[in-house]
Amino acid sequence: MPLLPARLAGRWLPALLVAVMLAGCGSSGAPAPPPEDAALASSARLARLSFEQQRPEQAATLYRQALTQAQQRDDLPAIADLGWNLAVVLLRLDRPAEAAATAQATRDEVTRRGGTPQPQLLLVQAAAFYRTGYIGSARTLAGEVVGNPQAPAEARGRAAFIDGLIAADQNDRSGIAAALAQMDALAEEPLPALVPDRSELAGRLALLNGDPVAASSAFLAAADGRRTVLDYPGMARALAGAAGAAESLGNAGKAADMWLRAGRTAQIGGQTVVAREWLTRARDVAGQAGATDVALEATARLRVLGAEPGSSQPSRVPAGSG
């Protein structure tokens, strides 16, 4: 840098000294933090707010934008965090294949650059694999998280929940019981975030044990818990479980109402596959029960979804929302 002319040095020197002094000020004497990438921070903040406000499509767009900005900045911690967040949002949007691919790409970059992927990233990929039918891969990743003593307790509990769902799909009562035991062993008191998960698995186990009354109670408790934390896809899934329990009890009217509520929530949330399944079930069961109002609403919603007329079988409770 060229020296300032002598006649200007006196004019600029005080300002330069003030700048240097201010840069070094601080109670700890630590250097000032590097400048924040305002565009990246803004995109990430808006994405998080959109997700919290139940606007997952907008959140996905903003998280993609933030991830691109993090890649431009070559900021590995930001890439890892935003890749995980984007995968979570895609899972909420019922796009598990995209969620799995996003999680894998993020894991690959972290590993390639000498880092260790966070357990939460493995967890969301395990959930995505489960939702896409790659059960072996889902179980492997969930097992890695459950067996990692450094992983947060909540992540380990959610991984055990995925194990339990896999076991339930396979009518494996001992597998569900083992998953419940793993969740219970994480803390002296149940972790609040895992209470709905535990209730849902208890409902699945009760159904397999031939106790639809206990199953209904457990599923409704899970639905209430998921509603409280704004997990509406999970709430819909629990309502579908309660609908199946009501059918087992021979209460077609109650079952039709719950199938409708589950399908309606799924439809509004953009989960079109399960929405069609549950609304079709609501229409069919309502017809058997003479619940005309339920049948009419279910039929109207199916028409919006472009679903073809036809009957369905009771739903297999789908995977968790992550």
Evaluate the CA torsion angle 214, 217, 219, 225 in order and state its sign.
negative
- Residues 220 and 202: beta-carbon distance below 8 Å: no
- In the chain, the DSSP E strands lie at none
Note if the pTM is more than 0.75.
yes
Residue with tokens 């704004």: 230
Alpha carbon distance 88, 127 (integer Å): 10
Q: How many CB atoms lie within 10 A of CB 304?
A: 10
Tokens of 99: 């969620």
Output the CA–CA distances (angstroms, integers) from residue 231 to 26, 123, 185, 223, 238, in the order listed. 43, 17, 24, 9, 11
Tokens of 240: 């579908």
CB environment 158-186: b (16+ within 10 A), e (fewer): bbbbbbbbbbbbeebeebbeebbebbeeb
Burial class (CB in 10 A: 0-12, 13-18, 19+), 74: exposed
- Residues 62 and 82: beta-carbon distance below 8 Å: no
pLDDT tens for each residue of the chain, 322 residues long: 444 343 333 333 333 333 333 333 444 455 666 677 888 999 999 999 999 998 999 999 999 999 999 999 999 999 999 999 999 999 988 899 999 999 999 999 999 999 999 999 999 999 999 999 999 999 999 999 999 999 999 999 999 999 999 999 999 999 999 999 999 999 878 889 899 999 999 999 999 999 999 999 999 999 999 999 889 999 999 999 999 999 999 999 999 999 999 999 999 988 888 999 999 999 999 999 999 999 999 999 999 998 654 433 333 343 333 3
**CATH classification of 40-115, choosing from 3.30.450.20, 1.25.40.10, 1.10.357.10, 3.30.428.10?**
1.25.40.10
